[in-house]
Amino acid sequence: MTLVLGMVFVFGLVLAANFVTAAQKPQLNKLFDLFLILINLPIFFIGALLLAFPADLLSALMQGSSLPALNWPAAGWTLTGMGLWGVLVSLQPVRQGLGRITPLNADLPMHTLALVLSGFLVGNTIFSLTQGGLEELAATAVSASIFDILLMQALFVGVAVLGIGLYIRRTPQDARQRLGLTRPTLQQLLTGIGWILVLVVLQALGGALWTLIDSSQAKLVENISGELLGNIDTFGEWLLLALATGLGEELLFRGALQPVFGLGFTALLFAFAHVQYGLTPVTLVVFVIGIVLGLIRRKHGTAVSIFVHSGYNFALGMISLLAMQYANTLP
């Protein structure tokens, strides 16, 4: 229910930003900036209040409630940072500064909203990781069904398509061009297969190196991933998962966001979105994978990056299934 309400809120903001962008009225743009500031100021002040009160007092006040115990200082800093980011990027001079280092257009309300929502994404990740770290994630991880995964990826597709203004600011043909969706050639698909192999090897090398450095932490993250995907245990389910995640994540990150934020910042957001790994060496591997997929999108288009991402996920799934079957045959 919380996810549904959150997505209704996000879709509402995206719709509003599109209509304001389509109107092309500077005064309306300023009102939208003010609206985003008014949304983020309470987040900032709530965070500041959490920092102002002693953590012991807050814990005592929350005793007996249904809410879980929180790391109050971490929650306070996270909310303060989220709110401050949202307020700052809603100011045109700040966006103009960011526009000097990214493709961002400081005058487009949709780009402003993308910045604000990116702060929500990063803030949510940091909040999750500071409330007990990997150990808490391992203790609270819940297996996702294939339906849960398909729903999340459908939401990603919806945000991407709505974000670029399909039927509001763009025709279907314009939307395909904006998302980088062109029909791949046979040569591009063969190149994509090569990249799938490279990414699988990169994942294996990163995992092996991490195991040598900190085997206990590597095992913990492996257990978290195993718990999260524990219900995905057939060829068909892994194929569906791979296709869905490749389509949803690539349309959102490489298709919709990369032309706004640029290669590096989009890859960083992509890494933060994979919260189940925590801030570990695997996060760096995911960041590098995001860079590779971004370069593929830039050179060959989003359809090829979808193909590579889906193929990479499917290959990892098949390796996981084979390992599980092999383990079951052991006495």
Residue 87: how many other CB atoms lie within 10 Å: 20
Amino acid at 183: R
Which letter, b or e, does each residue of 263-297 get, where b requires 16 or more Cβ atoms within 10 Å of its Cβ? bebbbbbbbbbbbbbbebbbbebbbbbbbbbbebb
Location of structure tokens 């979808």: 306
Location of structure tokens 């990063």: 122
Counted residue by residue, the chain has a size of: 331
The pLDDT of residue 277: 61
What CA–CA distance (Å, rounded) separates 101 from 42?
Answer: 29
Q: What is the pLDDT along the chain (331 residues), one digit of tens a residue?
A: 666 787 888 999 999 999 999 999 999 999 999 999 999 999 999 999 999 988 888 888 777 666 667 888 999 999 999 999 999 999 999 999 999 999 999 999 999 999 999 999 999 888 888 876 666 666 666 667 888 889 889 999 999 999 999 999 999 999 999 999 999 999 999 999 999 999 999 998 888 888 888 787 777 777 767 666 667 778 888 999 999 999 999 999 999 999 999 999 999 999 998 876 667 777 888 999 999 999 999 999 999 999 999 999 999 989 888 877 665 665 6
CB 43 within 8 A of CB 83: yes
Amino acid at 291: I
What CA–CA distance (Å, rounded) separates 327 from 77?
Answer: 44
Alpha helices in the chain (DSSP H): 2-23, 26-52, 55-61, 72-89, 92-98, 109-129, 133-140, 146-163, 172-179, 186-213, 215-228, 235-249, 258-261, 263-273, 281-300, 302-329
Phi, psi of 330 (to 5 degrees): -70, 145
Phi, psi of 303 (to 5 degrees): -60, -40
Which structure tokens are listed for 84? 């401050």
Task: Map residue 170 onto helix, strand or coil.
Answer: strand
CB 317 within 8 A of CB 225: no
Give 142's contacts (C-beta < 8 A, 6+ positions apart). Answer: 227, 228
pTM for the whole structure: 0.91
Give 267's contacts (C-beta < 8 A, 6+ positions apart). Answer: 287, 288, 290, 291, 293, 294
First to last CA, the chain: 44
Phi, psi of 94 (to 5 degrees): -65, -45
